[in-house]
Structure 1
């Protein structure tokens, strides 16, 4: 696979046909149908109750005489919308795997009084956004229940021959073969042979149903992301708070590592060097018992400790900022990939040099990911690509032909890399199916 290529290959006609035929048996399709059924019922109920509460609340507010009652009803409607949004977020996480962070709950000072608390809740932007979701969910619930109807009708039509064998013609009117289309009517089978038509009708309906439910679920996902989560500003503040905490933790960890390495490494060597030189000094002071061989051994030991201390200090400095980066990211990546024990195809097209902090993160990400390739993937070859995108973003792609299965939180160091990338508003994407290949994409801004 070329280093700069990340687009998956187009599915073959055979693979596409297999996917269509297997869709009704896919667990995802049944989960989406269950989600649409449950949220369709709760969405209709919640929307009707919310409309009643808001209509009564606005009506009382406009009448002036019942303004307080109207405000209370409006606040109750906001609470209902929040509860509805909370329920749908949980159902989406359980059935769709869509995890949407909850917006912050409205909170007012304890001494604000009744009107202060009412005013605070009425000004709650996230509450009104969830009201918007519940109201927008009303027509979507109807479409979702209609999509679920395709599953039910398909299964009913498949049982037409069985129902004929068990119940015959019922009241003499035959067996109804249902169609999910809103117009066109439904045929009636008056013989066992006629009921066999229900099998292809049911199969066609069940083949279409998963894609219908998936389309409706996709619209609902986007609606939830837009209205049920925290707003863009609140989410940005939350991300900044989290990345600031990650940056502080990363700095503290780095300082602790430097202190530990200095204490356990170079400091021990320098202490041994000082003791050795003291012993040499003592030997040279007493000329009557001077043993040149012993002095020579002490000097050799001191020289060895000085050399080791210099090596450890050099490695420590390289771990903080690799000197090879002074000549640019391209040269640093060439040096890094040349040292790898597996063949690495390198592609570099960096039109504008990023800031030193971004270069450092890119270098360490590449080094860590190549280490993962060597230790965990069982790959015979790897690819590394560093390209500047049209928007100025630096995109790193590290791929291999190993056995795949890489994911964050499995001891591969990917969680730490993700945290480091997020401190500069970067992203890390992992595509590593079982059996491989693996492609990890890191996008970094040009400036930290």
Structure 2
């Protein structure tokens, strides 16, 4: 049954791929990115080559260094264009490297610009981008040839036919075909070309996605801040998130105590005061035993409810179910889900309590998203350890479309995960399936 559901979900994904917004956005990125890559490659390479040529000469060394510096600035400008294209069409957003503002005398500023690591990474991306963009243009060819072949019967019907005695209407394919592509010499044969076009069109989004994945990696590796600068920025952000999270937790506890348990305890104290007054002086008979009994019952009810609310608050800070370890806690969580959950947990080394709590809350929030938003019939929760990392993955066969910031609680999860230097990856194309992977260190 599981294999049937998985196979059906994959088949739906293949058939829907050419009609998804992601596929068209990736195709548009390939098409628009090529002329930008071509112009950037030519300009940066020419300026850099001229600068290098003048630099090795004794007469034009200064001019050569200025041209080299100009090539890094030019590459930064093209890198900014590529970042905007990647963010707008692919949703691939990387932080902008800090602007270079050198100080000091002329040679000190020149030296700082020559040491501009972000500028040289931009140069590398601009030069490498052209062959990648050529492959992306080839991916666009899959779309065009697929549409062209799919329209072969229509073109034949409207009079686009081969001359008598000719080879026939050619079928265009994006890959070399042994012996040549088939030619249509009769109307019925055009449906063979249409079938080839349909297969090509179904494959086009996946070819495009594979080539674009290379570009995504280059964008992340070369167009963002350097590794050290990004590490410092991440630490600053996670520290701020941890402080904000702790402040929010304290405020929530204060509000819950003030509005809940504190009110119950005040009512308890008032009931006990009234009961004490109802007892009268020592040795005197009780004037109204019924009223005194009701006051004691009210005090008992308030005490019970206050204890329950305090227990709930403590459970929100650290779920008692985690006392026996993460596998037992996740087993209980999966058993309570209204959507059937397949659970697989392999955690030979127990993480620290903070990591266990974050993993548990992530699993709970992700399963809640499956129940509320996905329309899924089943879900899979897998937790494994690998190379000192805890990997938690929740997949479902729902409608897809989940993304941080889309009201699914993923933004809060991402912030919680980043406080311990963890990562979260979301794969949720329209039509599904959805897979959310959280990677955490074993020690906070």
Residue matched to 2:94: 101
Pairing of 1:200-239 with structure 2 (within 5 A):
210=204, 216-239=211-234
Residue matched to 1:308: 305
Structure 1 residues 246 and 77, CA gap change in structure 2 (3 angstroms): same
User: Partners in 2 of 1:239 and 1:279 — Cα distance?
Assistant: 58
Structure 1 residues 356 and 98, CA gap change in structure 2 (3 angstroms): same
Deviations 1:117-162 (A, max 9, x none): 3222221101101111222234445555566678778989989x89
Pairing of 1:13-24 with structure 2 (within 5 A):
none
8 Å Cα contact 1:279/1:298 also seen in 2: yes
8 Å Cα contact 2:339/2:378 also seen in 1: yes
Deviations 1:365-389 (A, max 9, x none): 233344445555566665544x433
Deviations 1:383-412 (A, max 9, x none): 544x43343433334456666655443444
8 Å Cα contact 2:378/2:396 also seen in 1: yes
User: Would you say 1:354 and 2:317 are equivalent positions?
Assistant: no
CA drift of 1:65 comes to 4.4
Structure 1 residues 41 and 394, CA gap change in structure 2 (3 angstroms): closer
CA drift of 1:275 comes to 2.5
Residue matched to 1:119: 111
User: Partners in 2 of 1:280 and 1:383 — Cα distance?
Assistant: 56
- Give the alignment's TM-score, normalised by structure 1: 0.75
Pairing of 1:146-185 with structure 2 (within 5 A):
none
1:330 aligned to which of 327, 331, 335: 327
User: Partners in 2 of 1:35 and 1:289 — Cα distance?
Assistant: 90
CA drift of 1:49 comes to 1.9
240-249 or 400-409: bigger deviation:
400-409
Structure 1 residues 8 and 71, CA gap change in structure 2 (3 angstroms): farther
Deviations 1:96-124 (A, max 9, x none): x1524144133335x53433332222211
Residue matched to 1:83: 77
Structure 1 residues 200 and 80, CA gap change in structure 2 (3 angstroms): farther
- Tell me the secondary structure at the aligned position of residue 442 of structure 1: strand
2:385 aligned to which of 364, 389, 393: 389
CA drift of 1:53 comes to 1.9
8 Å Cα contact 2:402/2:408 also seen in 1: yes
User: Would you say 1:248 and 2:243 are equivalent positions?
Assistant: yes
Pairing of 1:337-416 with structure 2 (within 5 A):
337-340=334-337, 345-376=342-373, 384-385=381-382, 387-398=383-394, 406-416=402-412
8 Å Cα contact 1:150/1:206 also seen in 2: no
Unaligned runs of 5+ in 2: none
- Tell me the secondary structure at the aligned position of residue 82 of structure 1: helix
Structure 1 residues 292 and 384, CA gap change in structure 2 (3 angstroms): farther
8 Å Cα contact 2:94/2:220 also seen in 1: no
8 Å Cα contact 2:100/2:116 also seen in 1: no
User: Partners in 1 of 2:97 and 2:46 — Cα distance?
Assistant: 26
CA drift of 1:54 comes to 2.0
CA drift of 1:276 comes to 2.7
Residue matched to 2:49: 55
- Tell me the secondary structure at the aligned position of residue 389 of structure 1: strand
8 Å Cα contact 1:352/1:388 also seen in 2: no
Pairing of 1:270-289 with structure 2 (within 5 A):
270-286=265-281
- Tell me the secondary structure at the aligned position of residue 94 of structure 2: coil
Structure 1 residues 138 and 343, CA gap change in structure 2 (3 angstroms): closer
8 Å Cα contact 1:151/1:206 also seen in 2: no
Unaligned runs of 5+ in 1: 170-174
Structure 1 residues 261 and 25, CA gap change in structure 2 (3 angstroms): closer
Deviations 1:202-239 (A, max 9, x none): 99689769477666544433333332223333333333
CA drift of 1:360 comes to 1.2
Residue matched to 1:442: 438
8 Å Cα contact 1:154/1:201 also seen in 2: no
